[in-house]
Structure 1
Amino acid sequence: MHWEQPLIKSKFLALTLVMVSLVGCANTSRRLETEEVALSTDGPITRQFHSALYYPFEIAPRFDGYLIGIEKVRRPKDGVVVKNRPEYGLADEALQAKFNDGKVMAVTHVIRHHADALRSGNCTLFNAYVQSPESAARQLVPACSDLAPTIWHPSEVFSNSWKALDGLANDMQRRIQTRQKPTAAQPSVGSSKPDSGSGPAYTHIVVIVMGWNTVQEEAVRNINSLVWNMSRASDEQPSSPERFNPLVIGVTWPSQWSSDWIDPAVKILSFPTKAGDADEVGMSWLGVLLHDTLPTVREKLHENLPDMPPKPVVVLGHSFGAKASSVAVCAGPAVVRPKEASVAPLAEIDVLVNLQPAYLSERIFGRTSVLQNVVYPKGCPQAKRFVITASAGDTAVPLPFWGTYLGEEKSHRKFCGPYHQGPRLAHCAVARASGHIEAKQPGTSNIYYIDASELISESAYGTGGGSHSDIYRLEHGRLINAAVMGEGIWAKSGR
């Protein structure tokens, strides 16, 4: 028919226009794409772990503190030096295997933020995406210093992670010290950015790490929920001598698989890989933060304000974030500072809270592992108080078939049930739906193992795994706040 030929031509023209437009889109680069390629963080998933650099206002914790972005970058040409610790319960070969990868964890950005979401003072203390004067001009988050921007070579991002955390220590010390003084605050040295000097003194330093398949944007939202509900729970206690006012450090890490070929529907295949990555986070920069950076802050504050009591350090982890936080607190970092021969000494952590931890119970309650998994042969004496939850409604942690995870109710029943043989290592307790805790059986250590089946019982919006992620309500804030403030069963125990 005569009209078929014009129709074919029009369809061909339309298809050509679509193809041209797609080519045009493909040639449109992202603002930080050059720097992402240099760091090997340019994938569709990997770039979601520095999204706060693109949206400094929208993706920001709503509390005074810092956001530390850990990402996987190219392995340094000269390798990575790690030292074993007896606290890992690992052979040297097993430890080396955890760092034997083409990519390694590194700190790529440290963002300083304020509680006031409308304030324009959010800035970077460290930004590995500043790799040239041109890239410095493209940054959407300004540097905290008004001096010439520091250029960071992408090949040195692993070793520069030490400088990132040293800069954090200096800023934290000034910030806490300024808040402690009754006089009006001045901006940090070398900076004209607004400071958070006005306001009450900080009561705690709270470090939070989220779990598997949690990109940076979601992690920040979750951190906001946790701290907000802790604050709400604190406000319910009128007899408290001071309002809970933490300095919050959110730590994000590449908890989602970045393989281009994998379909999101089969993310479960990434479970073993991300389980190993969680250990690497704890054995590297999260461990350094807790046992090097924060002790440095405490030491400097004591030198300048000897009468000021040290700020309690609280570490909170969920799922694989609980795994990373436990190895960081209980065993410490394996990475070694350049030109030093040994790892940092272990510091005491006041409170460690593991919500629905996704790691084997043998790590806490075992003393050896035939599979060469990390175990803590001496338990976790570095944490003055170690709180662990388990729930029958959590269908994510029973998923692995090779062992029992701490977040399973089955694990709690094994170590806290009536048929447990021998002395109990953990203090056993139950959490009611209200978030209040009831003691059941006493233990011999600093560990509190809580059956939270009544409390962690709902499917959180947009999540799977049953009640695995049901940790963002006021009732959960009550549990965490009681552990942090030493109330409820902890007030009675004194531990």
Structure 2
Amino acid sequence: MTQIPACLHPPTRRAGRPNFTRLPAGVPFGLLALLLGGLLGCAGGPVSEPKHLRFAEQVLGTAEEELAWNFHALLEYKNTDNDLPAAPADTRPTPGGAAPDGGQRARRPPDFCRLAPRQPGEIEVRGLGLHFPGYLLGVEKTSRQTLGLLGGPFGACSDSDSEDIFRQAFLRVPLRTGGGFDDPTCLLKRRLDDRRRMFLSHVVAFRTLHANATTRIGGAVLYDVYARNDLLCTIQQAAATGQPPAWEKGAFFAGRAQGLAELENALRADLLSAQQSGKPYSHVFVYVMGWNTGEAASIENFNALFGYLLDAAAVDASAGSHFRPLFIGLTWPSTWSFGTSAWDQFVRGVSFWNKKNDADELGTTWANYLVNEVLTRIKQEHERLRVVLVGHSFGARAVSRALYSCPWLATPGDCQNTVDLVVGLQSAFGRSRFRHGLSPAWQEAIAVHPMHHEGIPYTDYSQFAAYRAKQAYLWSRYDSATSLSAMIGGNNEVERTRAPGNQDLFQHLDDPAAGDDRSPLPPSSEVISRVRQLAAHDRRVLLIDGAGFVRYDTPYHGGDAHSDIYTRETGQLTWELVKKYAPSAPPSSRAK
């Protein structure tokens, strides 16, 4: 029988029930306080030890309380932290003779150089995850010195280190096209000069498990920088000498060389297995969420957005049996705080400019590598495979930036023909990205600080008409977030796109009640069904008025209807766009 510590034994009392009505006011609360104090005072067991993951966070510079957890929430549920050999305890006495922790044995950081790297097959995830087969890629931020990256911060465009900065980002240095803050090269160099840079920290595959009679979805970690003890060793040794690690031996390089390679190998295996089974995959979807969205919330949003799309396809007889999509979700460090205080609200607001720049960096680097390298090679082997990018808010900024970033790659290949469809939901980027004169001059010159300037990266470098992709962007007059910040997802950004001189660039799918607040809004089904009437060959940028269903405030999100997109209607709209602009081909006609 379990023995109760003496300090927890109840005091001896007389039989019968106490009459608390006879006690002075406040006595029961005082007794409760004494009891709680006794419980805390007599606690004499050993203190719990920090996870191996906590020490790896310290080495990589990502140990920032709730931020670290939110940016790699999946990794909290991996199965390896508790079976690693314990690091030696710190038993060095203090000058007073006591142990440094007051009698407890404190765990010291391990010497990662003495630990073997964990193999991908060893690491599983049981916790957060997708409701369907697919992949999740996690991107985080740390100091550029920790990653072994040269340059920064805030160097001039003409700095001699430009070539190194672009080379270490696996990008070429293109010729400058106009100079000034609109110059795409200068614009991107300012993003890559950030004091903290993004790196790929983990890749997790979610597949159907058939280990027993219960069918379920399980996560297998393909790449985990926090389990790469060889990388952690390199950073530890470099820190001990006060020097940054070598770039080609660091975490940024490893993310592209090993992390994305593991993903590409897994995608090839999935596609081959599906093809051999007679049920080949028809599409690859890449989703990215927006500002102030951690990894756990992103996974929730992925499940809603893609789940509603799958629902719409399931009840559509025209989908047939050959719509078999594969999902890839990309998470990124999109906020400075997840707290709820007034100070946290202020911090999140101030982070707007930094995070919109981060979305550009994400689109030009990791989303670019994923789409224009990995998926380009995959699609060249499976020519009928369709590729669809979907982003919300700053996520739409990232996926559109990825679309237009393939010319920055050292060997672009055929990436202009990789993406078939881009769907932006309440997109948080300016219309000036497509063409000069689409934003007021005062807005570009005064309201937007040059370090955060929108620039025109979509026009000067990409020649968007040469791209295969159809772009469709949902907007709503009820979205105050993008309207206030002059982004294309709000009402104020749409008007100039209707000018006669812009009809070659923009196509509109309007709400019949637009411009008349007294008119009842049409049902969502009317606007969505009108996608079927559009010409499939029209490659102009499509702006869709979604006020009929993007109109309700979403709790704890802000921006009024900015986040009113995790709905059945959004899934139906996305499905109609996929059918129109990225239709799947019957398996019999699929190449290879």
**Interval of TM-score (by shorter of Structure 1 and Structure 2):** 0.7 to 0.9
Question: Matched residues in 2 for 1:120 and 1:445: separation?
Answer: 38
CA distance in 2, matches of 1:343, 1:262: 46
Cα contact 2:288–2:330 (8 A) shared by 1? yes
In 2, the alpha carbon distance for the partners of 1:154 and 1:41 equals 20
Once residues 291 and 322 of structure 1 are traced to their aligned partners in structure 2, the CA distance between those partners, rounded to angstroms, is: 16
What is the CA distance between 1:271 and its match in structure 2? 0.2
Q: 1:406 aligns with which of 488, 498, 519?
A: 488
Q: CA deviation at 1:478?
A: 1.1
The DSSP-based 3-state class of the residue aligned with 1:294 is helix
Counterpart in 1 of 2:333? 254
8 Å contact 1:204–1:311 — kept in the other structure? yes
Q: Does 1:292 align with 2:373?
A: yes
Q: What is the CA–CA distance in structure 2 between the aligned matches of 1:484 and 1:414, rounded to whole Å?
A: 27
Code of the residue aligned with 2:316 in structure 1: it is Q
Name the structure 2 match of 1:433: 524
Q: Which residue of 1 aligns with 2:416?
A: 347
Structure 2's unaligned 5+ residue stretches are 1-29, 78-124, 151-164, 233-246, 439-443, 512-522, 584-592
Alignment-derived partner of residue 366 in structure 1: 436
Check conservation: 2:223, 2:262, Cα contact below 8 A.
yes
Aligned-pair Cα RMSD in Å: 3.8
Could you say which residue in structure 2 is the equivalent of 1:129?
226
Q: Which residue of 2 aligns with 1:312?
A: 386
Pick one of 271, 287, 298 that aligns with 1:219.
298
| Alpha-carbon distance in structure 1 between the residues aligned to 2:208 and 2:554 | 25
Match of 1:176 in 2: 271
2:482 corresponds to 1:397: yes
Deviation sequence 1:39-85 (CA, Å, 0-9, x none): 11111213311111113333111121110001112313342434345
Asked if 1:70 corresponds to 2:139, the answer is yes
Q: Read off the aligned partner of 1:77 and give its amino acid letter.
A: G
Instruction: For residue 42 of structure 1, give the secondary structure of its aligned residue in structure 2.
Output: coil
Residues 314-344 of structure 1: CA deviation (Å, up to 9, x unaligned): 000000000011100123375x6xxxx6566
Q: Write the letter of the residue equivalent to 1:177.
A: L
Q: Which stretch of structure 1 is more off in the superposition, 112-121 or 99-108?
A: 112-121
Q: Report the number of matched residues.
A: 432
More helix by share: 2
Report the counterpart of residue 12 of structure 2 in structure 1.
Answer: none
Query: Which amino acid in structure 1 is aligned with residue 192 of structure 2?
Result: F
Deviations 1:392-442 (A, max 9, x none): 110111232xxx3100122223323xx655634211103652261437999
**Superposition deviation, residue 287 in structure 1:** 0.5
Contact 2:363 / 2:402 at 8 angstroms: preserved in 1?
yes
How far, CA to CA, are the matches of 1:471 and 1:444 in structure 2?
A: 25
CA contact 1:298–1:310 (8 Å) conserved in 2 = yes
| One-letter identity of the residue aligned with 2:275 | Q
TM-score (norm: length of structure 1): 0.77
In the superposition, relative to structure 1, how do residues 241 and 332 fare at CA in structure 2: closer, same or farther (>3 Å)?
Answer: same
Is the partner of 2:530 in helix, strand or coil?
A: strand
What is the 5 A alignment of 1:11-410?
28-44=49-65, 45-55=67-77, 56-75=125-144, 76-79=147-150, 80=165, 81=167, 82-85=171-174, 90-114=183-207, 119=216, 121-132=218-229, 156-163=250-257, 164-182=259-277, 200-242=279-321, 244-257=323-336, 263-266=343-346, 267-299=348-380, 301-302=381-382, 309-332=383-406, 334=408, 346-348=415-417, 349-366=419-436, 371=450, 372-375=453-456, 376-377=458-459, 378-379=463-464, 381-400=466-485, 404-410=486-492
Deviation at 1:479, TM superposition (A): 0.7
CA drift of 1:129 comes to: 0.7
Superposition deviation, residue 364 in structure 1: 2.3
User: Residue type of the partner of 1:331?
Assistant: S
Q: 1:115 to 1:452 in 2, by over 3 A?
A: farther
Shift of 1:451: 1.1
Mean CA deviation greater in 425-434 or 317-326: 425-434
Q: Using the alignment, how far apart are the partners of 1:12 and 1:119 within structure 2? A: 48
Gap change, CA 1:472 and 1:315, over 3 Å in 2 = same
* 1:483 is aligned to 2:577: yes
Change (3 A) 1:74 1:118: farther
* Cα 1:221–1:121 shift into 2, 3 Å: closer
Partner of 1:140: none
Q: Percent identity?
A: 26
Question: Contact 2:135–2:328 (CA<8 Å) still a contact in 1?
Answer: yes
User: 1:452 deviation in Å?
Assistant: 1.0
Q: Describe the shift of the 1:287–1:33 C-alpha distance in structure 2 as closer, same or farther (beyond 3 A).
A: same
Note the C-alpha offset of 1:118: 5.1
Amino acid of the structure 2 residue aligned with 1:105: M
Once the 2 structures are TM-superposed, how far is the Cα of residue 389 of structure 1 from its aligned partner? Answer: 1.0
Alpha-carbon distance in 2 for matches of 1:222, 1:428: 27
Task: Report the CA distance between 1:87 and its aligned residue.
Answer: 11
Looking at structure 2, the residues matched to 367 and 85 of structure 1 have their Cα atoms a distance apart, in angstroms, of 24
Q: Deviations over 1:112-131 (max 9, x none)?
A: 10256953642111110113
Deviations 1:184-227 (A, max 9, x none): xxxxxxxxxxxxxxxx3322100000000000000001011111
**Greater Rg, structure 1 or structure 2?**
2
Residues 85 and 331, structure 1, Cα contact 8 Å, conserved in 2: no
Query: Shift of the alpha carbon at 1:485?
Result: 1.4
Alpha-carbon distance between aligned partners in 1 of 2:274 and 2:217, rounded to the nearest angstrom: 19
2:504–2:540 contact (8 Å) kept in structure 1: no
- When residues 287 and 422 of structure 1 are mapped into structure 2, their CA distance, relative to the original with a 3 A threshold, is closer
Amino acid in structure 2 at the alignment position of 1:42:
A
Q: Is the 8 A contact 2:191 2:357 kept in 1?
A: yes
1:170 and 1:297 in contact (8 A); partners too: no
Query: Structure 1 residues 111, 488: CA separation in 2 closer, same or farther (over 3 Å shift)?
Result: closer
Q: Pick one of 456, 469, 482 that aligns with 2:550.
A: 456
- Deviation sequence 1:88-120 (CA, Å, 0-9, x none): 963533322111123211111000102569536
Task: Provide the C-alpha distance between the structure 2 equivalents of 1:157 and 1:177, rounded to a whole number of angstroms.
Answer: 30
Partner of 1:474: 568
Cα displacement (A) at 1:239: 2.8
Q: Distance in 2 between matches of 1:441 and 1:177?
A: 34
Q: CA offsets, 1:343-367, max 9 Å, x none?
A: 6663321000011001111112438
1:493 counterpart residue number? none
Aligned partners of 2:429 and 2:488 also within 8 Å? yes
Q: Deviations over 1:292-313 (max 9, x none)?
A: 01112223x35xxxxxx52100
- The equivalent of 2:9 in structure 1 is none
| TM-score scaled by length of structure 2 | 0.65
Q: Structure 2: how far apart are the matches of 1:19 and 1:74?
A: 42
Q: What secondary structure is seen at the aligned counterpart in 2 of 1:161?
A: helix
CA contact (8 A) 2:184 2:455 kept: no
